[in-house]
Structures are given as structure tokens and as C-alpha cells.
Amino acid sequence: MINPNEYGSLLFDEQEKKYLSNVIDARRIFRYSRTPYPYTSMCEEKIKSLVGTNYCLMTTNGTSSLKSAFIGANVEKGDRVLISSYTFLATALAAIAVGAVPIPIEVDLNYGVNLEDLEKEIKLGCKALVVVHFQGRAFDLTKVKRICEKNGIVLIEDACQAFGAKFKDKYTGTFGDIGVYSFQQFKQITCGEGGCVVTNNELMFNRMRNYTDMGSTRNRFPSWDSAEALFGENDRMNNLCAAVLYAQLEKLDTIISKQRKSRENIMQKISNINNILTSKDASGDTGMNIIIILNDKKFKDKVIDMGKDNDIEFRNMWSSLYYDNELFKKYKLTSKDLKNKECIYTKELIEKMLVISIPPILNGTDEANIASLIQTIKNKGYLL
Ligand SMILES: Cc1ncc(COP(=O)(O)O)c(C=O)c1O
């Protein structure tokens, strides 16, 4: 495939190797050991200054970051948390892992979640809302934030798929109370497995930090002998992952500008097609893909096969809504609270949407081939 669903990893080079060697040579992988190469803390400093928050905490992955975000938000057993229905299962699993009940909210392509559905569910009570920025795009959260503030609800942004994306020059993850990113293999930048949370709220930060450090407070050594200690987990990042991520952070601008340029080149060639899904501020998109919406779900397999014939990957994001999975049905984790709720628009989007990855390694020929295939698909009447 000329457009694999990979981004930062495709530009691994001597820099990642050098930082990894530094960690090995220093023999200090644990983040809290004394070392001349504290890459975990260095990543936190770099991310804080990039996105402009007071606090950042590196963790083992996006899912553990989400769990700690719920703890930061003081979500407790049995609490309802509202979750954008258009998301990967991990968002809901993190809520369940802390004993909360994930309630899906219909997606909206401008505001992240449907405002009417949001207001309706808020009336039934909830502690937090998770809006999911998807596929390198940032939603306009102005209205959502106002609603959360008015109702005393913590706004968490799951930006696992959208690190580096902005809306009106503001980074995803910085609109609400807590932002969550993932650095797993297939994300914008990667260290294989990794994640972090960002916030401006000191209290929330301390709870998240303690939770991911086995619930301890720490002054060089952990302590459980204080009122701030809690029953936590071990979700600390190590310096090996952080070494790779630090090198990736240094390349973030290069990666995003390559993707944006390729995407722009492709879009210019298909400027007659307006069935491409962009965000409200497309200049803030990371350019990591082009999303097309099909006329009918029956065209999906055909289009995927046309892609395969041309070495171009058309990716089906997920096959169903997370709460339609057997797992949720079997354990009836949400049925009581869901009642007969159906997120019809999200379902339709999932059925008709295809993602064409734009990795930062495409050349002019690749771009022309992708544009020409999208044009063919349009000419055949498969696009909305
Ligand atoms: C929207 C969303 N949330 C959460 C996650 C979980 O992140 P991780 O795989 O790092 O645990 C992912 C990615 O896998 C994701 O796409």
C-alpha cells in the first residue's frame, strides 16, 4: 500500500536511535531514577510548551490516560459519563474500568457532540463528558464547553487521534478541563505504546499523577501516608518510550507539514469534489487523511477493493458503534441506562465513511494516483 495508516513511525531515523542509546548507556529506564536523560519529564515539558497547558503527565497509553482523566474528574463507581458515540471502544472501556457507566451521545461534525442530545442526557445526571476529536481534526468546542460549565460537568477531550490538530490556533486537548493523547503505533507521532494527559487544573493533575503512580504521592520515593493518596494503578511511562517520543516531538512540525502539503496537492486535483469531510477550521487539520462519505453502505466493499487493486488503502474506521459490540450486549453494561437509545447519525456515518491515510512519505506520483482514484469513485456515483 502506498498510503499505510502510519505517520511518525515512517520518519524514524538516527535521532530516535541516539536518544534510545542515551537511555541504555545511562542504564536508567525508570522515569524517577536519577539520570542525565530524563526523557519522560522532557516530553512533559515539551508537550506543555507546545499546547500551552500548565501540566502534562506521560502515561503508558491513551486508555490509561482516559482512566486517569476520569479519576482526575472525580468520577466514582456508578456515575454516568457521557461519551461521544463516534469513538474507539477504548473510550468506553476506560469509563467502565473506573466503575462508571458510559452513555453515548450522538456525534455532530461541527461541535463534536449533538447539543440537543447532550442537554437531554445532562438532565438525567452525569459527572463528565468526553468529546472525541477524530482523525487529525479538531472540533469547535465553544458551545459544548459553555454547556458543561453551566451544568458543572468536567469536559474531557479524547484527542488520541488528533495530537497536533488545532481549532482557531488552539490545540485539541486544551479547550476543556483535561486533554488526552495517545502515542500508539498508528497515531500521529508514536513510541509504540504511550499516552499523556494535559490540564491547567492543579487538583485534577495531582489526582491523575497519584493515580498513575499506584495512588502514591511522591517526593523522590512514593508514599501512601497522606490524605492525597488513593487506590491507584501503575501507568507510568518509561524513559525508553519517552526517548523515542522525544525525537518524534522534535519532528512533529515536519511530519504535519508534509501531510498537509500532500493533502493539499491531492485536494487541488479533485477540487470539483465537495464530498470530503473537513473540520470547521480545516487549516488546523493535521492533514493525516482524506475522509470520504459514500452514497450508500453497499459501495463500501467495492471501493475498498478498488483501492486494493491500486495499492491504495481505504480504511474502514470501525465496523460498528461501540455499544453494539457483543461485549456490551453480553454483560448488559449499558442497557439499563441506554434504554432504547440509538445514535442513528453516528451509525450512518460509520457505515458510509472511509478514510484514506496521508502519511508523511507520499511523492507526487502517489498523490496523483490517490487523486485519480477518488475521482474515479466520484465518477461512478459512489460518493454522497
Ligand atoms: C479515540 C481513541 N481513544 C482512545 C484510544 C486508546 O489509545 P491507546 O491505544 O493508546 O490505549 C484510541 C486509540 O487506540 C482512540 O482512537
Residue 276 sits at the vertex; the CA angle it makes with 271 and 277, to the nearest 5 degrees, is: 140
Query: Cell numbers at residue 282, please?
Result: 480545516
The pLDDT tens digits of the residues spanning 56-104 come to: 999 999 999 999 999 999 999 999 999 999 999 999 999 999 999 999 9
* Average pLDDT of the chain to the nearest whole number: 95
The per-residue pLDDT for 297 is 93
Handedness of CA 329, 335, 339, 341 (dihedral sign): negative
User: Does the 8-245 domain belong in CATH 3.50.50.60?
Assistant: no
* Best mutation site among 81, 84, 156, 161 for ligand 1 pocket (most ligand atoms within 8 Å of CB): 161
Strands 195-199 and 178-182: antiparallel
Question: 32 with 220: CB under 8 angstroms?
Answer: yes
The ligand 1 atom nearest the CA atom of 194: 10
| 3-class DSSP state of 266 | helix
Tallying the residues shown for the chain, one arrives at: 384
Helix residue spans in 73-180 (DSSP H): 89-97, 115-123, 142-151
Mean pLDDT to the nearest integer, 46-64: 98
Q: How confident is the model at residue 19 (pLDDT cuts 50, 70, 90)?
A: very high
Nearest CA to ligand 1 atom 8: 62
115-123 helix and 142-151 helix, angle to the nearest 10 degrees: 10
The ligand 1 atom nearest the CA atom of 65: 11
The pLDDT tens digits of the residues spanning 180-228 come to: 999 999 999 999 999 999 999 999 999 999 999 999 999 989 999 999 9
User: Cα-flanking dihedrals φ and ψ of residue 170, to 5°?
Assistant: -110, 135
d(CA 296, CA 275): 13
Question: 70 with 128: CB under 8 angstroms?
Answer: yes
- Say which DSSP state 270 is in: T
Other Cβ atoms less than 10 A from the Cβ of 169: the count is: 8
User: Cα-flanking dihedrals φ and ψ of residue 371, to 5°?
Assistant: -60, -45
Handedness of CA 231, 233, 239, 245 (dihedral sign): negative
Q: pTM for the whole thing?
A: 0.97
Mean pLDDT to the nearest integer, 327-339: 74
The pLDDT tens digits of the residues spanning 334-374 come to: 767 777 788 999 999 999 999 999 999 999 999 999 999 99
d(CA 186, CA 294): 24
How many Å lie between the centroid of ligand 1 and the Cα of residue 183?
Answer: 9
Rg value, the chain, Cα: 21
How many Å lie between the centroid of ligand 1 and the Cα of residue 187?
Answer: 9
CA 369 to mean position of chain CA atoms: 29
The pLDDT tens digits of the residues spanning 334-344 come to: 767 777 788 99
Q: Which residue has the cell 487544573?
A: 201
Q: Which fold has domain 253-379?
A: Aspartate Aminotransferase, domain 1 (3.90.1150)
d(CA 240, CA 17): 10
Mean pLDDT to the nearest integer, 7-23: 98
How many Å lie between the centroid of ligand 1 and the Cα of residue 79?
Answer: 22
Q: How confident is the model at residue 279 (pLDDT cuts 50, 70, 90)?
A: confident
Q: Is 113 left (phi over 0), alpha (psi -120 to 50) or beta?
A: beta
Domain layout of the chain by residue ranges? 8-245, 253-379
The pLDDT tens digits of the residues spanning 224-264 come to: 999 999 999 999 999 999 999 999 999 999 999 999 999 99
d(CA 72, CA 222): 19
Q: How far apart are the first and last CA of the chain?
A: 25
Query: Cell numbers at residue 45, please?
Result: 515539558
Q: Name 197's bridge partners.
A: 57, 180
CA 164 to mean position of chain CA atoms: 10
Strands 166-167 and 80-84: unpaired
pLDDT at 134 over 90: yes
* Best mutation site among 63, 183, 193, 322 for ligand 1 pocket (most ligand atoms within 8 Å of CB): 63
- Which of 154, 167, 135 lies closest to 292, judged by CA? 135
The ligand 1 atom nearest the CA atom of 64: 11
Residues having CB closer than 6 A to ligand 1 are 61-63, 87-88, 90-91, 132, 158, 160-161, 182, 184, 195
The per-residue pLDDT for 337 is 73
User: Which residues lie below 8 Å from residue 334, measured CB to CB, with a gap of 6+?
Assistant: 101, 102, 103, 104, 323, 328
Q: Which residues of 320-354 are buried (b: 16+ CB within 10 A; e: fewer)?
A: ebbbeeeebeeeebbeeebeebebebbbebbbbbb
d(CA 71, CA 53): 19
